[in-house]
Structure 1
């Protein structure tokens, strides 16, 4: 099953016990939506993504715990949080992504340039990715600001910039993470600017990008401070 959300709606978990299992949330053609402080797990692929954001604007996903398991094939579940169809100004913060193959896809198809180009502005801040395979995020055509995230035990690849996407990747930590920043799986490459990342002995493999500024104020913690700030805080940890 999947649940559609309407304009200006908010979905909050009141405490750390608030949870969904095998029920996707579908954010489609709406504006000003907040998703905050709940857990969602094991949404089967036939029910879509755990959270799917399409053709929507001004969406904030914050303090969520999103997972499945790695016991099935990579297509048994779909995405944990996917942003598609020219969505704009989506912020994903303080989310704990774990135990999953395909975590977070921005831009669903190499063939969707006409709709997506110039859109898909997304921010990933202060998230914790653990025991995951890929799409952390994978971004096509869009613009991604990826900062203050902690990655550990990444099986395949982390940040994947594709199809002309421009990403600014700064103040992140990667531990036992294969291909922390790369351009993979598409004929047309994407691009990355990297600043103050701890790649854990791995290296940036993406072509140099041009995204050096974003239109909002933010604080890059510095890679040395990311783990303490993120691990234990990301997830549905808020108390109301």
Structure 2
């Protein structure tokens, strides 16, 4: 398991204060956990990612309660109890999450079905730098997502400091977790993706350089891409760190295009046609790789150029790739925090 050796000032202070306080009454296990990867970096006026820390703890058992809580302006820890079916209505089933929220499932049965979560302002192609009211500081943990008519989770429009951890994603109509339109400082960790096609997009499209260049810093670690067919992730423009993920039975793992920079290390690819590509569609990307294991794959990992080392932004310790097929399925998904 990854043990962080360095954390941002904000997350260090938060953890120190949290250790001195009694647990919030009724708070779910892991509700006060600390983000790692790019989500831990102090930037854009935000010290790491702490979600709803400092706010009240509330529990949602119905869609009406849940949608009320996630839209409130104040910090909140929103516990999800049981199965909640999200309405489609006039939003194509996508529901906005406000800043400073921790959304965490209780036990191993919390589930959001029929709709997805949108973390970000409405799309505006004319906005090319982070607005003052960009959505930020959101944590989503320990929830099963399925059956959305659009994305399961969509992060957009310069949203920053988002941690998506220990969830289960399946059977969405479009992306499982899409990160785009200038979003930044995001970590996707210890999730299971299965029974899904277009898993995770980083970068909206080839024409979106004005919003995306210099942003889209995302960490993917210890995720179980369990026969999730493609986009695990598919990256444009961003700087993305992909380590210690387990890939099983997919058409391709990672694609780096439009001069994106991907660091690929310590992953295990089993029966993946193309583990990682830079010659895909659009302009070529950059990709460096080390310590990955390929078993029953039809192609080698494609590499090109140089990439800024993730260790210049945050500290981490990668597990040996040989341990990934055991460690990741055992720890990824719901009911494991």
User: TM over 0.5: same fold?
Assistant: yes
- Determine the structure 1 residue equivalent to 2:131: none
Q: Which residue of 1 aligns with 2:287?
A: 192
**Displacement after TM superposition at 1:222 (Å):** 1.4
Q: CA–CA distance in 2 between the matches of 1:9 and 1:126?
A: 23
Segments ≥4 residues shifted beyond 6 Å: none
Select which of 96, 117, 129 maps to 1:25: 117
SS at match of 1:238: coil
Write the deviation string for residues 82-113 of structure 1: whole angstroms up to 9, x where unpaired.
Answer: 00111110000000011111000000110000
1:203 to 292, 300, 317: 300
CA contact (8 A) 1:11 1:36 kept: yes
Aligned with 1:61 (options 164, 188, 209): 164
Structure 1 counterpart of 2:153: 51
How big is the shift at 1:184? 4.4
**Considering only aligned residues, what root-mean-square deviation do their CA atoms show, in Å?**
1.3
Gaps of 5+ in 2: 1-92, 121-133
Partner of 2:15: none
TM-score by length of 1: 0.91
**For residues 2 and 187 of structure 1, do their structure 2 counterparts lie closer, same or farther at Cα, with a shift above 3 Å needed?**
closer
> Computing the radius of gyration over CA atoms, which structure comes out larger, 1 or 2?
2
In the alignment, the residues of structure 2 paired with residue 184 and residue 81 of structure 1 have an alpha-carbon distance, to the nearest angstrom, of 23
- Structure having the higher strand fraction is 1
Q: What 5-or-longer segments of structure 1 have no aligned partner? A: 70-76
Contact conserved, 1:67 with 1:100, CA < 8 A, in 2? yes
Greater share of helix residues, 1 or 2? 2
Write the mapping of 1:1-240 to structure 2, written as runs, cut at 5 A: 1-28=93-120, 29-44=134-149, 48-54=150-156, 55-68=158-171, 77-154=173-250, 156-200=251-295, 201=297, 202-214=299-311, 215-238=313-336
Q: Map Cα deviations across residues 105-149 of structure 1 (whole Å, 9 max, x no partner).
A: 000110000110000000001000011211000010000000010
Q: How many pairs are equivalent?
A: 228
